[in-house]
Amino acid sequence: MRINHNINAINAWRSLGSTNTAMGKTLEKLSSGLRINRAGDDAAGLAISEKMRSQIKGIDMAVKNSQDGISLIQTAEGALTETHSILQRMRELAVQSSTDTNTDVDRDQLQSEFTELKDEIDRIAKTTQFNNKNLLDGSLKGTRDGDAKIVSAGAAGFEVSAFSASAVSDASFVIEVGQFDGNTTSQIDVKVTMITAGGSSSVTTVATTGNITIGTVSINWDTSLIADISDFDGVLATNAVVDGGAAISYAKDISSADAVTLQIGANEGQTARVGFDSTQAEDLGLTSITKIDSKEDASFAIGAIDAAISKVSTFRSKLGAVQNRLEHTVSNLGVASENLTAAESRIRDADMAAEMMKFTKQQILLQSSNSMLAQANQVPQNVLQLLR
């Protein structure tokens, strides 16, 4: 029998320490509800679950962003509801003023209300805001994501009107830069239309195409500068010779493309763009109908107001379509968040029933280890029996 080293006691003490450590980890899992409390619990599982957590939080915020977008659209659409009502009343006044059963005095009274209503359309367009952003004054139009402007011109200088059916001044052709969807890798569709006395001939090409000749017009696309649509100041066309005149240079200009961009996803680039047209009287084509105090002016106003009503209806329809899209986005994001949360839970959360089983086992082992350590410590005392 040996007394310097009590192997039985050392064995029991080692088991007691191991069980005590396992008991601490189990208690930690039971108290936190998490299977992974530190990287050492499951290094790979921790890395995977952290990525899932970032996605879940991003998706939840994207839901909020989408809901804010819906509120923004509803704000604009609510204002347009009133604009529609005003236009309908203005048309009603114009129709009333068009009949000869009215006297000049009657028409003056109708004119007074007509003018006030027209001013109110402008006021609504200029003051409708969401979070201090003007919605209907054209500052967030964003539907013309491409444009063309003149940079320099010689003796044969002229203006280029983008998205125009015909040239301005004495121009012999029009450059139209197509819209893009906000993706900086998209190419710009360019349409060059030759204007002639007998009509027009046209060709549609992509901006990265080489030289184009239409009639007497020769255009050399500078592909190195227009390959990236994010290069807002890049030259769009060089050496554009007009009827043998001086060379003209053009640049793309999308500074007016300040549409609202909504982050509707958890990752980069998952966005939706929506533009808000101007609904000021001038942009609705109401500038020319200042009066309805004569039968002729009133009759003319009816057609102009019909066109304005059509514009507002089209704009409201577009906003309604975007709102419906965002509502589906919210639903889809909700499902994605739920499924990702379930997946993250399977990796990170503790199975409470399984941990309680381990806890019960460790309690028994801890008690038995304590008991066996006490018994092992009594064994060396048997040596005293030999010394009597």
Domain coordinates in residue numbering, the chain: 7-32+355-387, 34-140+265-281+291-349, 145-252
The dihedral region occupied by 31, where left means phi > 0, alpha psi between -120 and 50, and beta the remainder, is alpha
Rounded CA-CA distance 300/287 in Å is 12
> How far is it, in rounded angstroms, from Cα 7 to Cα 132?
79
The whole-number pLDDT of residue 97 equals 93
What topology is assigned to 34-140+265-281+291-349 in CATH?
f41 fragment of flagellin, N-terminal domain (1.20.1330)
Q: What is the pTM of this model?
A: 0.63
List all residues 6 or more positions away from 4 whose beta carbon is below 8 Å from its beta carbon.
Answer: none
From first to last of its 388 residues, what are the pLDDT tens digits of the chain?
677 778 888 888 898 889 888 898 899 899 888 999 988 888 999 999 999 999 999 999 999 999 999 999 999 999 999 999 999 999 999 999 999 898 888 999 999 999 999 999 999 999 999 999 999 998 887 533 333 333 333 323 233 333 222 332 333 344 443 333 333 333 344 444 443 334 444 444 434 444 555 444 455 544 443 333 333 334 444 444 433 333 344 444 333 346 788 999 999 889 888 888 889 998 888 887 888 988 888 988 898 899 899 999 999 999 999 999 999 999 999 999 999 999 999 999 998 999 899 999 999 998 998 888 888 888 877 777 777 6
- For 341, the token pair is 């949360």
3-state secondary structure of 290: coil
pLDDT at 1: 62
3-state secondary structure of 205: strand
Neighbours of 276 (CB within 10 A): 28
- Residue 365 near residue 359 (C-beta atoms within 8 A): no
Q: What are the distances in angstroms from CA 194 to CA 201, 240, 284, 304, 307?
A: 5, 12, 29, 31, 29
Q: Which pLDDT does position 377 carry in this prediction?
A: 84
